[in-house]
A = this chain, B = another copy of it.
Amino acid sequence: MKKLKRSARIVDMTRKLLENPHTLISLTQFADEYASAKSSISEDLAIIKEVFEEQGVGFLRTVAGAAGGVIYIPYIDIVHARRFMESVIEMLSDPNRLLSGGYLYMSDLLGDPKKLGMIGKLFASVFYEREIDYVMTVETKGIPLAYAVANQLQVPVIIVRRDSQVTEGSVVTINYVSGSSKRIQTMSLGRRSMPEQSKVLIIDDFMKAGGTIRGMIDLLNEFNAEVAGIGVLVEATSTEERLVDRYLSLAELTAVDPREKKIEIRLGNYFQNHT
């Protein structure tokens, strides 16, 4: 590439970092690409780093050594996370969202690219140090959310099917008991989805008793995979029995009264651990 002026180089470096989160970009690569001295590249990175940190975008981690370089880590701090989730909770507290069975209408939230991007970044901020190989979810509503998380972590997303599909090739199928309805259900995952020993982050949009997530954990056992973390957007706390122990929630649905048209939602356990 032809030698760029400094300001042009900074534009392109900023773009490259933002488009490649959690990816090591070496100083040499930058220097070659812009036909610039490594010292100039380092100065530019210092400016980008400062702006990213000031604006709450994330941080740049410097890796020293011959193979060294820089990694952009998207990060939302607890203050911005709380402010954002409070706005989501306000949106979800509309009584018109009440559905039968104690469910909430959330399809609009789960389809909004801006909000999904923020929630994805939030989960990525929480779990980024766990060396995650895959983000997993079960069809259907949580898929855009899981993809948003995977996008920030730059790892593939894996979708568990509720029935076995020809398009997955050979599959591993398990039965599990839905925590709320106590019915026996099935989920399956293509054998080719991941190699053994993978570290997997489970993401879902809504958790009641946790039967579905319990099922995903059992399924991961069949792949000799490791559960690196569990994140749910909204959990319903009214359930008597919890089938999952350690998980992180961004919001809690504490009370639902369809007759009185009342919903109570508050910040999830992620924020309670941070007070």
Binding site for B on A (CB under 8 A): 4-8, 10-12, 14-15, 18-19, 44, 47-48, 50-52, 55, 57, 99-101, 103-108, 111-114, 116-117, 139-141, 143-144, 147-148, 150-151, 154-159, 161, 165-169, 190, 192-193, 206
Contacts and interface: CB of A to CB of B under 8 A. Distances in A.
A64 B144 CA distance: 36
Quick one: copies of this chain in the complex? 2
A133 to B, nearest CB: 12
A155 B15 contact: no
The 6 nearest A-B residue pairs measured at CB: A111-B156, A143-B143, A144-B147, A11-B51, A14-B14, A139-B140
Contacts of A14: 10-11, 14-15, 18
A166 B101 contact: yes
What is the interface of chain A mostly: helix, strand, loop, or mixed?
A: helix
Contacts of A166: 99-101, 103
A51 B140 contact: no
Contact of A12 (B19, B51, B159): B51
Most buried by B among A15, A105, A167: A167
Contact of A51 (B8, B116, B148, B165): B8
A63 B93 CA distance: 37
B114 A154 contact: yes
Nearest to A2: B54
Nearest to A147: B144
A193 B107 contact: yes
Given A15-B18, A166-B99, A167-B141, A107 B51 contact: no
A272 B258 CA distance: 55
Contact of A167 (B51, B107, B157): B107
Contact of A147 (B8, B147, B159): B147
22 contacts: A7-B44, A7-B47, A8-B51, A10-B11, A12-B51, A99-B167, A100-B166, A103-B166, A107-B159, A107-B193, A108-B156, A111-B159, A113-B151, A113-B157, A116-B151, A139-B139, A140-B161, A141-B167, A143-B143, A143-B159, A144-B147, A147-B147
Contacts of A12: 51, 55
A35 B35 CA distance: 33
Nearest to A98: B169
A192 B165 CA distance: 29
A1 B159 CA distance: 42
